[in-house]
Amino acid sequence: MDHNLRDVYDNFAADGTFLKGESYGSGHIHDTFRVETAEKGKDDYILQRLNNKIFKNIPELQNNIERVTSHLNHKLRLIPGSDPKRECLTLIPSKEGKSWITDKTGSFWRMYIFISNHRSYNIVDNPAKAFEGGKAIGRFQAMLADLPGAPLHETIPYFHDIEKRLDTFSHTVKSNPAGRAEKVAEEVDFVLKRSEEMKIILRMGKEGKIPVRITHNDTKFNNILLDENDKALCVIDLDTVMPGYVHYDFGDAIRTAANVAAEDEKDLSKVKMDIKLFETYAKGYLSETRETLNDTEKEYLAFAPRLITYIIALRFLTDYIDGDHYFKIHHEHHNLQRARAQLKLVESMEEQYGAMRKIISTMI
Ligand code: ADP
Ligand code: GN1
Ligand code: MG
């Protein structure tokens, strides 16, 4: 769809004249554009057309993000030498004073300051970057631990709830809306074989052994920006910051930071978890959170990547069987290709689970 980005931009109280806007990044959910301003020395911006099929309550979504970004901004301002404009997202208000607008067609838009000179990676090629990613997420969780006020809205209810995800999966396989279920019998079997053991984190939560904290819930590595020296800079994509278990963030970061191949790698022989990347991410993460996590939380960090990789594989597979209504796809069988790569990664993690547990046990 073509959008008049200049008109959209003019609804926001931004500083700078619109020069041009282009599609930006590789997110799977929103339509994201980078807006360059004409004046040298003025900020550029990120303009996003929000996916309101997925985020059904935009005022609640934006209310969460307003609270989270303003809390982070206040905390950062108290740290000498920090640069809040680069170390956390800054929403630009509309000329009416809201943090989003609706256009004539009913689309919702929001705008952030573009964080300049950042580095973003879909694949992590060395342990130092993984360490920085771990630090960024650990610090993010720690800074939000004292967010005042009511609990954040659940922007997507049951987002990482494995029982709900399995229910939806079984229902979709049964109803087979796109006629694709027969094609994926092997993958369905792989998923079902592991369904019971995946419920452990949820069970520990229900038993009160693992507390609900404020978590990010979408810590794929390209949602962690590094600076020009590859040091931790800013955690972005705050749409799913809400109550959750720390395992979701740890697991999703390992799923992406420690996979030596792309999320949707077609050649499955290339997909593998690198244990060194796992180890250094964990080191970075625990350097910020060791004092706050309880013993059970720490012990189960080793299992978390298996759970989250399984959940994301399950979601890609469900979306494929459903006929591709959720994730943006770039070719016909993209969701299947993603699901297969993620299931292969689950297998690689299973093979290395003993080593993962050993590494975590020596660090905690
Ligand atoms: P999605 O939910 O679709 O993944 P994101 O909010 O993650 O959307 O944005 C998509 C991409 O846009 C990110 O992966 C990142 O590359 C880029 N991006 C988002 N916000 C900013 C920002 N404030 N500064 C620089 N780049 C950004
Ligand atoms: C989506 O928004 P993005 O592209 O960072 C998805 C995540 C998945 C990820 C898989 C709101 O993340 O849950 O893990 O794709 N976000 C949402 O790449 O569903
Ligand atoms: Mg993203």
Compute the Cα dihedral for 335, 338, 344, 345 and give only its sign: negative
From ligand 2's centre to the CA of 269, what distance in Å?
A: 24
User: Cα 158 to the chain's mean position, in Å?
Assistant: 15
From ligand 2's centre to the CA of 149, what distance in Å?
A: 27
pLDDT digits (tens, 9 = 90+) for 57-114: 999 999 999 999 999 999 999 999 999 999 999 999 999 999 999 999 999 999 999 9
Residue 244: is its pLDDT beyond 80?
Answer: yes
Residue 3: is its pLDDT beyond 90?
Answer: no
pLDDT value of residue 1: 67
Pocket test for ligand 2, best of 26, 28, 50, 307 (most atoms within 8 A of CB): 28
In sequence order, which residues have a C-beta less than 8 Å from that of residue 350 and are 6 or more positions away?
306
Q: What is the pTM of this model?
A: 0.97
Residue 191: is its pLDDT beyond 70?
Answer: yes
Rg value, the chain, Cα: 20
Report DSSP state, residue 71. H
Q: What does the mean pLDDT of the chain come to? A: 98
Report DSSP state, residue 126. S
pLDDT value of residue 280: 98
Q: Any bridge partners for residue 325, and if so which?
A: none
Pocket test for ligand 1, best of 23, 24, 54, 256 (most atoms within 8 A of CB): 24
- Which residues are near ligand 1 (CB < 6 Å)? 24-25, 27-30, 32, 46, 89, 112, 114-115, 118, 120, 222-223, 236-237, 239
pLDDT digits (tens, 9 = 90+) for 251-288: 999 999 999 999 999 999 999 999 999 999 999 999 99
Q: Yes or no: say if 214 and 243 are a contact pair by the CB < 8 Å rule.
A: yes
pLDDT digits (tens, 9 = 90+) for 300-358: 999 999 999 999 999 999 999 999 999 999 999 999 999 999 999 999 999 999 999 99
Residue 362: is its pLDDT beyond 80?
Answer: yes
**Protein residue with its CA nearest to atom 16 in ligand 1:** 25
Type of residue at 334: H
* Mean pLDDT score, 128-146: 98
pLDDT value of residue 308: 98
* Mean pLDDT score, 124-134: 98
Residue 129: band (very low, low, confident or very high) from pLDDT cuts 50, 70, 90: very high
pLDDT value of residue 316: 99
**Protein residue with its CA nearest to atom 22 in ligand 1:** 114
Report DSSP state, residue 305. H
Q: Any bridge partners for residue 112, and if so which?
A: 46, 91
Rounded to whole angstroms, the Cα distance separating 302 from 136 reads 19
- Which residues are near ligand 2 (CB < 6 Å)? 27-29, 54, 218, 220, 223, 237, 239-240, 263, 312
Residue 221: is its pLDDT beyond 90?
Answer: yes
Phi-psi group of 243: left, alpha or beta (phi > 0 → left; psi -120 to 50 → alpha; rest → beta): beta
Collapsing DSSP states into helix, strand and coil, what is residue 319? helix
Q: Which ligand is nearest to the CA of 114?
A: 1
Residue with tokens 């027969």: 182
Using the atom order of ligand 1, give the atom closest to the CA of residue 328: 3
Residue 2: band (very low, low, confident or very high) from pLDDT cuts 50, 70, 90: confident
From ligand 1's centre to the CA of 221, what distance in Å?
A: 11
Query: How far, CA to CA in Å, does 44 sit from each of 38, 103, 146, 225?
Result: 9, 21, 31, 16
Collapsing DSSP states into helix, strand and coil, what is residue 230? coil
In sequence order, which residues have a C-beta less than 8 Å from that of residue 133 and are 6 or more positions away?
124, 221, 224, 226, 232, 253, 257, 281, 284
Rounded to whole angstroms, the Cα distance separating 263 from 54 reads 21
